[in-house]
Amino acid sequence: MNEIVNEHVEKYIRSLDCEEEAYFLELEDYAEKNHVPIIHKEVKSLLSFLVQSTHAKSILEVGTAIGYSASIFARAMNQEGRIVSIERRQDYYDLAVENVKKLNYKTEFDFKFGDAVDVLTTLDEKFDLIFLDAAKGQYLDFFEKCIDYLKPGGVIVSDNVLYKGMIATDLYVIRRKKTIVKRMRQYLDFIMHHPDLTSTLLPMSDGIALSYKKGGDNA
């Protein structure tokens, strides 16, 4: 439970998730038992919807964890396409590489180990969709390094942008989180006023920002 969505509404929405594939259920169980942060069920549904509705076939992900969201992207792309995903924890990186092998998808998974701020300077391709789900205090740094990799008509999805409600009001701010809160507020102000973007915030899960890059489409 967070400070964004009523707990009964949140519970109901998550109850509608009808995941049946053993692979995804196993990853969810592992994440819960080992306290691995993965996307919430309602975010999983949103990402799948976005990939399918925009016909995305190339995705950049900042923050792999154990490969759960990358796997969701691959399934939404009909087991095809290309996913580049960056992870700085060796144990998570190793698990992600092993996990996606079990899928036997035709999807091209390209997991990159290292700090995203560094890895993002080495890429040389364009993407239909970019997903930010790593260190919350570095979102602006990530954005500035990856915006040129987003195709016109593409979408950047930023997860956890309301940070348990702390971004919206100081009433919820935990003292040790003040720096992250300040930086996230700066990030949201930046994307909401960026001349090349149309952005919106969704008060679901822990807060989602969607940013559409003007100037084209994903056809």
Per DSSP bridges, beta strands 58-62 and 108-113 are unpaired
pLDDT for position 92: 97
Q: What is the pLDDT of residues 87-105, one digit of tens each?
A: 999 999 999 999 999 999 9
Token duo for residue 135: 């260190």
- Structural contact between residues 71 and 27, judged by C-beta atoms closer than 8 angstroms: yes
pLDDT for position 1: 47
Token duo for residue 197: 């973007």
pLDDT-derived band at 216 (thresholds 50, 70, 90) equals: low
Confidence check: pLDDT of 107 > 50: yes
DSSP string of the chain? Answer: --SSS-HHHHHHHHHT-----HHHHHHHHHHHHHT-----HHHHHHHHHHHHHHT--EEEEE--TTSHHHHHHHHHTTT-SEEEEEE--HHHHHHHHHHHHTT--S-EEEEEES-HHHHTTS----EEEEEE-S-GGGHHHHHHHHGGGEEEEEEEEEESTTGGGTTT-GGG--GGGHHHHHHHHHHHHHHHT-TTEEEEEE-STT-EEEEEESS----
Does the reported pTM lie above 0.85?
yes
Q: What is the pLDDT of residues 138-164, one digit of tens each?
A: 999 999 999 999 999 999 999 999 988
Kindly report which listed range (12-16, 107-111, 116-120) carries the lowest average pLDDT score.
12-16
Token duo for residue 21: 């594939």
CA distance 84 to 206: 24
pLDDT for position 3: 65
Per DSSP bridges, beta strands 108-113 and 127-132 are unpaired
Confidence check: pLDDT of 77 > 50: yes
Mean pLDDT value of segment 188-199: 97
With respect to CATH, is domain 7-213 assigned 3.40.50.150?
Answer: yes
Mean pLDDT value of segment 29-52: 96
pLDDT for position 218: 45
Interacting residues of 214 by C-beta distance below 8 A, sequence separation 6+: 152, 196, 197, 198
